[in-house]
Structure formats: structure tokens, C-alpha cells
Amino acid sequence: MARDVPAFDAQHPPAQDLMDDCVHCGFCLPSCPTYLLFGEEMDSPRGRIYLMREGLEGESLTDAMVRHFDLCLGCLSCVTSCPSGVQYEKLIAATRQQVERRYERTRYDRIFRKLLFRFLPYPTRLRALASTLRTYQALGIQSAFRKSRLRELLPARLRAMEGLTPEPPPHSPPLPVLIPPHGKRRRRVAMLTGCVQRVFFPHVNAATARVLAAEGCEVVAPHGQGCCGALSLHAGREQEAMTFARRTIDTFEAAGVENVVANVAGCGSAMKDYGYLLRDDPTHAGRAQNFAVKVRDASELVHELGPAAIRHPLPLIAAYHDPCHLAHGQKIRAAPREVLRTIPGLTLREIRESEICCGSAGIYNLIEAEPAARLGERKALNVLETGAQLLVTGNAGCLLQIRASLNRMRKQLPLTHPMQVLDASICGEPVTTLTR
């Protein structure tokens, strides 16, 4: 609900000098997914910067203004395409934080968001949810529900949530605290096991740790680590994100490692931004900067190290999907592709419109179900067009989003993380372990 007060307070409003970098050229428009969907100037990066400027000049946060900010995926495709180097990621992050503090959302919206953040960043709570989910899936209730018309009666957000529920993960014991390297030690690294990742994708964590060890890393998985704060940060929950960031820094500093490895693009991107997030923090500002320079995406680190382990052939055709927080947020496009190309027999295919978000975007596909579904189906069609046998992507959110879109289209395609593919090759597993 709009309030008759200036849109922004003095606590880190979107910065005027960053807005002034925008020369209104419009080069970013064709790469903005919401501009592609709605064709509205105010749903483009240039339009949103115009609204931020109005806010900075004292306009109130109107419902319409907040709607345009909310519809932004935070995919940062505009950052890649902007020739003037506009740091839109800082502008939208500051704007979201102001919106979360100063705009009164509807009761339903508030409760829904609160519930999401009561669960998503907490592995213990997620684990309880996962076991209920397992029963729901094992008893066949999910497939019966999906075939019935009851599903269509659910509100859009709950329907989206149901469609995105992960499959029960294969059993995977928790990572040991220390995994020794194969052969001579090349690096000592710590792995972020994540919150959603740890509960629903423990097999991806296990594959990542095996690959890192095979490539000569001593791998530490520090106890006591929790959520890195990525979901909170991208949703404008600044204080919560800062709390998670401080705890992550404290935990990983104690591990005494050269690198901190993330295998989820959103987490890696958030951790690389800790220096900026904690820039005013009296105890953690400098430590956050030191921490951030150590962070690597798993593919980035494997590429940096160069192959040490023998790769066995995997004769298959794979398509690689760029997660936005890897390609646009961390500027990592070549490393995952080159890492996959070290596998004999593997053919890599490019996906049309690879710079356009799949609609996952943190909690976007739960909050903005309709545009997210349209983007998901657009992405799924482009993936299918490649004729690949397997889709590879380094972000759990993208994987769930594209899988849900394929399911709605009644299409089947296996999806995996790049580290799972590399692990299968290093371990000499057959292609069917990835494609069945």
C-alpha cells in the first residue's frame, strides 16, 4: 500500500551517481526479460532507473512503482548488455531494500514472503519439509494431484510451488568434514554446502567434493555453516542477509583455506558481493572483502586449476544453460563450457537466447508465478530445440524451474549440474547414470 512519504530514506538509497551513468541509449532493452514479456518502458532497466530517480527526488513509492520493481528478476542481463557500465545490480539491490522497509505489502503477500523465509534458509526446517514431501511423492499423491483438476484450483503461487517441488534426492550421507586430495595437494578449499542445496541436492554436493578431491584439492566442509544469505539479499532483506553473511565469514575463516567453493550460482554471486554488503560493518567490513576474493564457483576453480584427473569418455550431446548469477552476476561463461569440453565424447550445444533468464531468479518463480512460467516455457522450448540428451546447469533454482516448465509441457529431459557430469566422467560411469 502506498504511503505519502518520500520513497527512500537515507539508509543506502539507490545512488545518484550510479543512475547518472545511464545515458538512456536503450541497448539493454532487448536483453531484459520483462521488457520482452510486457513491452513496457517501465518494465525495462532504463524505465526502472527512471522510477528510482523519481523516488530519489522525493516521490512516494506508489503501488505501480513497486510493481515495476517487483517484476524485475534481478537477472542482471542488462548489466552485461549496457555499454555504459551502469551498475544496475547495486541500484536494484538498494531499491529492493528500501521497498522492503518502507512499502506496506498486502497481508497475503506479507504472510507468503514471511513463510518462505521461515523455511528456505534453514536446512533443519527444510529437512522436516522434505520428509513430508517424500511421503507425498512416495504414496503417489503428487502424481494423482497433478493429473487431477484440483491443482488448477490452487492460487497461482501455491500451484507454482507445487510444480517446483524437487524430486526426493538419492540417499547421500553428509559430507565428511575433511576430504583428502588424490595425489599431491594443489589447493585447500572449503565447500559451501548451502541450505536448499544441502537438503535437496546432497548428491550434487557429493559429486562436487569428489571432483575437487580428484583434481588435487583438500576439501573441507565446515560444520556449523548455514545459509549464505543469497535469497535474503536478492529479496531486499538486508539485515537478514548481513546476519547470514557475518556467520558465513566467521565459519569459513576458521577453516583456514585458500578458496571457498560454491556450486550454486546465486550463492557464489552473493558471497562475492559480501564486501559491498558489509561495507559499513564495524567488525566485518575488511574481513568480508578478504573473504569475497577467495570465493570461486566450482567450475571456475576446476578451470583455474586445469585438469589433473583422467576423464573417461561420455558419448552424449549436452546443452549448457547459463545461470544468470553466473553469466551476468559473476561474468563466468567460458569456464563451465571449457570444463565440460575436457570430457572425451561429449558434444556441447548452445541454447538460443542464452542471455535470457529462465524465470527462476531466487524466489521470483514463487512470488511472480505467471511471468516466471512464461519465461520458463520460453527457455524450455529453446533447450528442446538443441536436440540435446541432457541439460547441464550450475544452479539448483534454474534446474527446478526448467524441469517444472518441461513437466507442464509434458516433455522429458534429464537435467544435471556440471560437477555431476565431470564426476561421472572421472569415475568412469556410463552415460546412463546421467540420462536415466
Q: Where along the sequence are the contacts to ligand SF4 (CB under 6 A)?
A: 22-28, 32-34, 45-46, 48, 72-78, 82, 84, 86, 88
Residue 199 neighbours by CB distance under 10 Å: 21
Instruction: Find the shortest distance in angstroms from Cβ 303 to ligand SF4.
Output: 26
Residue 280 exposed, middle or buried by CB count within 10 Å (0-12, 13-18, 19+): exposed
Question: Is the Cβ of residue 20 or residue 280 nearer to ligand SF4 in the bound state?
Answer: 20
Give CA angle at 234 (81, 336), nearest 5°: 55
Instruction: Find the shortest distance in angstroms from Cβ 52 to ligand SF4.
Output: 11
Instruction: Find the shortest distance in angstroms from Cβ 49 to ligand SF4.
Output: 6
Question: Is the Cβ of residue 230 or residue 288 nearer to ligand SF4 in the bound state?
Answer: 230
313 in Cβ contact with 345 (< 8 Å): yes
Closest among 340, 349, 337, 357 to 397, alpha carbons compared: 357
Closest among 253, 188, 204 to 225, alpha carbons compared: 253
State how far the Cα of 421 lies from the Cα of 208, in Å rounded to an integer. Answer: 10
Instruction: Find the shortest distance in angstroms from Cβ 26 to ligand SF4.
Output: 5
Question: Is the Cβ of residue 51 or residue 219 nearer to ligand SF4 in the bound state?
Answer: 51
Q: For 13, how many CA atoms within 13 A lie in the half-sphere containing its CB?
A: 19
Question: Which three three-digit cell numbers place residue 273?
Answer: 558481493
Instruction: Find the shortest distance in angstroms from Cβ 70 to ligand SF4.
Output: 11
Question: Is the Cβ of residue 35 or residue 291 nearer to ligand SF4 in the bound state?
Answer: 35
Instruction: Find the shortest distance in angstroms from Cβ 262 to ligand SF4.
Output: 21
Instruction: List Cβ neighbours of 58 (8 Å cut-off, separation of 6 or more).
Output: 6, 7
Question: Is the Cβ of residue 78 or residue 396 nearer to ligand SF4 in the bound state?
Answer: 78
Question: Is the Cβ of residue 233 or residue 431 nearer to ligand SF4 in the bound state?
Answer: 233
Taken as a whole, the chain contains a residue count of 436
Instruction: Find the shortest distance in angstroms from Cβ 176 to ligand SF4.
Output: 39
Q: Which amino acid makes up residue 351?
A: I
Q: Which amino acid makes up residue 261?
A: V
Q: For 30, how many CA atoms within 13 A lie in the half-sphere containing its CB?
A: 5
Question: Is the Cβ of residue 55 or residue 123 nearer to ligand SF4 in the bound state?
Answer: 55
